Amino acid sequence: MNDGTRPSPAWRLMNDRAMRLAVGLAIVVAIPMAVLFYFQFRSLNDIEKTSAVVLRQLSSDTAESLTKSVEDYLKRPHISVLLRIPQARTEPLDLTWIDPIMHDALQESPFITSFFVWTERGPLANQWLAYDHRSDAQPAGALERRFREDPVIGAKLLPRLRELEKTRMAIVAFNEVINGRKYYVQAQLRFESFARERMTSVVAMAVDAERLRTEFIPALLRERLANVQQPVGFPPLEAAVLAEDGTRIFQSNELRADDVPVDERSFSIIFFDKELLEFAAPYEQQREIWGLRTGYGPQAIPEIVNASTRPQMALMVVLAVAMALGVFLVAGAAAREVRVAELKSNFVASVSHDLKTPLALIQLFAETLELGRVRTPERAQEYFRIINGEAKKLTRLIENILDFSRMEAGLRPYRMEPADLGDLVTRVLARMETQFSQGNFVVNTQIASSLPRVLADEGATEQAIENLLANAIKYSGDARRIEVQARRAGAHLEVSVTDHGIGISRREQARIFRKFYRVQRDLGGGPQGTGLGLAIVDHTMRGHGGFVRVSSEPQQGSTFTLHFPIPGETALEPTLAESTR
């Protein structure tokens, strides 16, 4: 309670059964749904975490696998040829034994341009013999044609090998430009003794650096990536290889500068086990290191997994909003039904009260007159006026109820005839003169002259004006002044009734034209009115093609204005500002 007399809005809200029902229904439905959505959101969060782990693991495993594949691919000739040919087969050269080994190696490692053998012992001493893909085209067994002497290449490579002989390393490697192209050259040196003081034979190979970069490494990676099981519902895993200078050697998709790498590995361009680097010369100074990257395009993993669950998240939000809206609508409908039931109950009580009071007065004064207890004719005349006034109240009440019933059933006809609103207002004021006198009201009337006639149902129009005047009497409080005006405003004739009573809050102004609704009042004395008067006024004005508007402030009074369209003139629809001013 605010001051001990008027209930506060919060107190009225807590004691509103319709509101309690709506809130209870919303809570009953909302709590299980909130729990359900909470666990669903947690489930999506767990899915994101699991997906992130799976994507990272796939990227890591693929990067590791591709790197190992490249390293195994490059070192295969060293294992299958250089190490398989023992020194005894090269001093002197046993070409019959060496031929199938090199043939198989070229088939397994097509990136090898050529194999070389050289020895200083035996019939083929000091001949630099080459074995390449053209050798395989020669007939099997024609060793002199399959192993051809290449003194030009020997003249370039043998001096370099003589220099590297001083390192006493079994494996030597270097880069050499042959016929304008860069080659990786690797050789297995054979020495006369364990002291490694004099080189006696060589088994070597040469790899075209450009073809290795542009053909063989990309082909190997495409083959390996084709066997990778791509993640379902996510961007495909991509891989790229960059040379030491940053040149992109391989890219599994179109080149994009904004790709986000997930894993990075590196590998050396060497053709033997990297554990043997310390036994090789001079690789520590010359070897190239290439980088391998894996990723899922321009998005990082958190963005990818978030994007994968975003549709489900959006769907859940839509479902939550839809269910919340459904609960709101159902709760609102239930609350309205309860409120309507309460209003109907109050309506019955109000009607009973409004019927009982006039009947009691009529009965009281009629009995007084019947028993002859009136001493003067003037007093008798006053009793007759009271009886007549109370009878008119009953008539208006019954007419309101009957009219509203017909309106609800769509059976209320309006007989539209030319009418003078000034005369209608004057007749209503004259008919209610007794009520004004009993309440000590002063009514100021301003009716403009020469008002055009409008099409109206005179009975319904008088009833609407009378309802407004009855409300002005009822809600005037201590103020005893009412203003009535009839004037022209644009394409309408306006009839306004102004009181200076309790007023109407803006919140209630949108509700007062609903059936059974009554303004909350500070006045006591039980139910006041049926809540049908303004609903009938609104229906009547819409039936006349016009409208009714209210302007009011609490404790400052109210003005109700009826707008009747003037025949033959275009009436503008009221704006929102005009409707709620």
- Whether residue 7 is contained in a domain is answered as no
Cα 191 to Cα 305: distance, rounded to the nearest angstrom: 60
- In 3D space, the residue among 406, 432, 395 whose CA is nearest the CA of residue 543 turns out to be 406
Residue 3 has pLDDT above 50, yes or no: no
Which amino acid appears at position 346 of this protein? N
3-state SS, residue 351: helix
DSSP 90: B
Number of independent structural domains in the chain: 2
Claim to verify: residue 421 and residue 277 sit in the same structural domain: no
CA–CA gap between residue 361 and residue 367 (Å, rounded)? 10
Whether residue 129 has pLDDT greater than 90: yes
Percent of the chain as helix, strand, coil, to the nearest 5? 50, 20, 30
Assign 482 a pLDDT band (cuts: 50, 70, 90).
Answer: very high
Is residue 145 included in any domain, yes or no?
yes
Same domain, 16 and 163: yes
Domain boundaries, position 175: 12-299
Task: Report if residue 165 sits inside a domain.
Answer: yes
- Residue where one domain finishes, among candidates 275, 299, 323: 299
Q: How far is CA 238 from CA 298, 307, 397, in A?
A: 11, 18, 85
pLDDT in tens, 495-526: 999 999 888 888 888 788 877 676 665 444 44
Instruction: Output the domain CATH number for residue 438.
Output: 3.30.565.10
Chain-centroid distance of CA 299 in Å reads 20
Q: Which two tokens stand for residue 486?
A: 């009839």
Domain presence at residue 371: no
The first and second tokens of residue 94, run together, are: 């046993």
Residue located via tokens 């960059």:
242
In this structure, are residues 26 and 203 in contact, taking their beta carbons and an 8 Å threshold? no
Residue with structure tokens 């139910």?
527
Question: Is 50 within a domain?
Answer: yes
3-state secondary structure of 200: strand
Give dist(CA 11, CA 4) in Å, integer.
12
568: Cβ contacts below 8 Å, ≥ 6 apart? none
* Residue 303 confidence (pLDDT): 86
302-335 pLDDT, tens digit per residue, is: 888 888 888 888 888 888 788 778 777 777 777 7
Q: What share of the chain has pLDDT > 70, as a percent?
A: 84
Q: Using one digit for the tens of pLDDT, what is the confidence trace for 538-562?
A: 888 988 899 999 998 888 889 999 9
Average pLDDT of the chain, as a whole number: 82
Cα 132 to Cα 147: distance, rounded to the nearest angstrom: 8
Provide the phi-psi class of 545: left if phi over 0, else alpha when psi is between -120 and 50, else beta: left
The predicted pLDDT at position 189 comes to 93
- Cα–Cα–Cα angle for 464, 469, 470, nearest 5°? 95
Considering the domain architecture, whether residues 421 and 560 belong to the same structural domain is answered as yes
Contacts of 3 (CB under 8 A, 6+ apart): none
Residue 351 covered by a domain: no
Q: Which residue has the higher pLDDT, 401 or 550?
A: 550
Strand partners, 262: none
In a shared domain, residues 419 and 295? no
Q: Check whether residue 139 and residue 267 sit in a common domain.
A: yes
In order, the DSSP letters of 176-190 are EEETTEEEEEEEEEE
C-beta separation of 269 from 71 below 8 A: no
Answer whether 201's CB lies under 8 Å from 101's CB: no
CB atoms within 10 A of CB 378: 9
Q: Point out the domain boundary residue: 279, 299, 319.
A: 299
Q: Write down which residue in 260, 280, 299 finishes a domain.
A: 299
The answer as to whether 357 is a domain residue is no
pLDDT digit string, tens, across residues 191-230: 998 888 899 999 999 999 999 999 999 999 999 988 988 8
Is residue 406 in some structural domain? no
The whole-model pTM stands at: 0.56
